[in-house]
Structures are given as structure tokens and as C-alpha cells.
Amino acid sequence: MLYGRSMATKDSVEKTQEEIIKEMARALGHSGYLLDVVLKEMKQLEKAMAHAKAKDDYNSLVEKFNMKRKEALEKRDMLIIHREAIGMRQHKFLDKYYPIPDKKKKKI
């Protein structure tokens, strides 16, 4: 009888560990997706800035862009945290795969 409990406990522990790993992988994927969304929004803002005629319109877009840039940096940090949580320690390629543009400057 004791053997049966031990096997049941082992199966339960393995199942819980598997569920944790799946959740960590899901969180990692979600972090990458969220960063990708913000980067796409930044590209849209860059396109709008290229077509902005008035200085005030351009400067307003620059403010939005720079706020999105800050958000992208935060999302990249979260992605790194999730990667480290599952044992991934090399993050060099993230800047290449998820390039975050420099801050934009307003027109004077």
C-alpha cells in the first residue's frame, strides 16, 4: 500500500512539474508576442512621422513613439526574465530579433 502512494505522489509531482513547464513556455511566448506588437506599433508611428506635415503633429507622434519605446524596453525585460526562468541565459540575439529603435527627437 505504501508503494502505491509513493507512485501516485510521484505521478502527481511529475504532472505538476509538466504543468509548470507548460505555463512557463506559454508566458515566454506571450512575452515575445507582446514585444512584437509594440514594435509593430512603433513602425506605424515612424511611418506616420514620415508623412506628418505640421511640426506639432510630428512632435506629438514623437512623444507617442518614445512612450512606445519605453514600453518595448519593459516588454524586452519581461521576455528576458521569462527566458531566464526556464534556464535560457544567452540573450544576445534578442536585440537582433527584436530591434528597438533609438529615441526620436522633436522638431524645434
Q: Where are the domains of the chain?
A: 2-97
| Residue 14 CB burial class (10 angstroms; 0-12, 13-18, ≥19) | exposed
Instruction: Write the secondary structure of 21-58 as one string of H (helix), E (strand) and C (coil).
Output: HHHHHHHHHHHHHHHHHHHHHHHHHHHHHHHCCCHHHH
pTM of the model: 0.80
> Tens place of pLDDT for every residue, the chain, 108 residues?
455 556 667 688 888 888 888 888 888 889 999 999 999 999 999 999 999 999 999 999 999 999 999 999 999 999 999 898 888 888 888 989 999 999 999 999
